[in-house]
Amino acid sequence: MKKILFFVFAILLAITTSGCSATDGSSGNTGGKSEDTVTLTIFNNKVEIAEQLNQLKKEYEASHPKVKLQITTVGGSGDYSAALKARFAASEVPDIFVNKGNEEARLWKDKLLDMSDEPWVEHLLPSTREAMTVEGNLLGMPVGIEGYGYIYNKDLFEKAGIKKLPTTLSELEETAKTLEKHDITAFSNGYQEYWILGNHLMNVALAKQDDPSQFITDWKEGKATAKGNPIFEDWVNLIDLTVKYGQKNPLTTDYNTQVQMFANGETAMLQQGNWSEVMLDKLNPDMNIGFLPMPINNDPKLNDNIFVGVPMYWVVHKESPHAEEAKEFLNWLVSKDIGKQYIVKEFKFIPAFDNIPFEESDLGQLASSTQDYVQKDKTLGWYFNDTPVGANKEFASSIQRYISGDINKDELLTQLDKTVQNLAQK
pLDDT in tens, 153-204: 999 999 999 999 999 999 999 999 999 999 999 999 999 999 999 999 999 9
Find out whether 275 and 75 touch, Cβ atoms under 8 Å.
Answer: no
Give the global pTM. 0.81
Q: What is the pLDDT of residue 32?
A: 38
Angle between helices 409-424 and 230-244 (to 10 degrees): 120
Element (H, E) at 415: helix 409-424
**SS3 call for 45:** coil
Q: What is the pLDDT of residue 301?
A: 93
Rounded distance, CA 266 to CA 252, Å? 17
Provide the pLDDT confidence category of residue 36 given band limits of 50, 70 and 90. confident
**SS3 call for 82:** helix
DSSP 166: P
Element (H, E) at 269: strand 267-273
pLDDT at 30 over 50: no
Q: What is the pLDDT of residue 16?
A: 29
Angle between helices 169-181 and 230-244 (to 10 degrees): 0
Element (H, E) at 99: strand 96-99
Q: What is the pLDDT of residue 358?
A: 87
Query: Percentage of the chain surpassing pLDDT 70?
Result: 91
Give the number of other CB atoms < 10 A from CB of residue 372.
Answer: 16
Q: Per-residue pLDDT averaged across 132-149, rounded?
A: 96
Rounded distance, CA 256 to CA 363, Å? 21
Query: Percentage of the chain surpassing pLDDT 90?
Result: 82
Residues near 168 by beta carbon (within 8 Å), at least 6 away in sequence:
295, 297, 298, 299, 300, 303
Average pLDDT, the chain: 90
Q: What share of the chain is helix, strand, coil (3-state, %, to 5)?
A: 50, 15, 35
Rounded distance, CA 372 to CA 266, Å? 27
Q: What is the pLDDT of residue 11?
A: 36
Q: Per-residue pLDDT averaged across 294-314, rounded?
A: 96
DSSP sequence for 296-315: SSS-HHHHS-EEEE---EEE
Q: What is the pLDDT of residue 48?
A: 85
CA distances from 94 to 65, 71, 73 (A): 20, 9, 12
Rounded distance, CA 224 to CA 215, Å? 7
Q: What is the pLDDT of residue 170?
A: 98
- Calculate the CA dihedral of residues 19, 88, 50, 120 and round it to 10 degrees: 140
pLDDT at 27 over 60: no
CA 273 to chain centre: 7
Domains of the chain with bracketed CATH: 18-145+310-357 (3.40.190.10), 146-308+381-424 (3.40.190.10)
Q: Per-residue pLDDT averaged across 388-407, rounded?
A: 96
Sign of CA dihedral 416, 421, 424, 426: negative
**Sheet with 67-75, edge to edge strand ranges:** 21-24, 67-75, 38-44, 96-99, 313-316, 141-142
Q: What is the pLDDT of residue 392?
A: 95
**SS3 call for 135:** coil
Q: What is the pLDDT of residue 10?
A: 39
Query: φ, ψ for residue 134 (rounded to 5)?
Result: -130, 125
Q: Which residues of 16-27 are buried (b: 16+ CB within 10 A; e: fewer)?
A: eebeeeebebbe
Least confident range from 99-103, 237-241, 397-401: namely: 99-103
pLDDT tens readout for residues 74-94? 975 458 888 999 999 999 999
* Farthest-apart Cα atoms in the chain, separation: 67
Rounded distance, CA 72 to CA 96, Å? 11
| Class of residue 272 by CB neighbours under 10 A (exposed 0-12, middle 13-18, buried 19+) | buried
Q: Per-residue pLDDT averaged across 328-333, rounded?
A: 98
Q: What is the pLDDT of residue 152?
A: 98
Q: Per-residue pLDDT averaged across 348-358, rounded?
A: 91
Least confident range from 103-112, 124-133, 188-197: namely: 124-133
Rounded distance, CA 32 to CA 82, Å? 32
Provide the pLDDT confidence category of residue 267 given band limits of 50, 70 and 90. very high
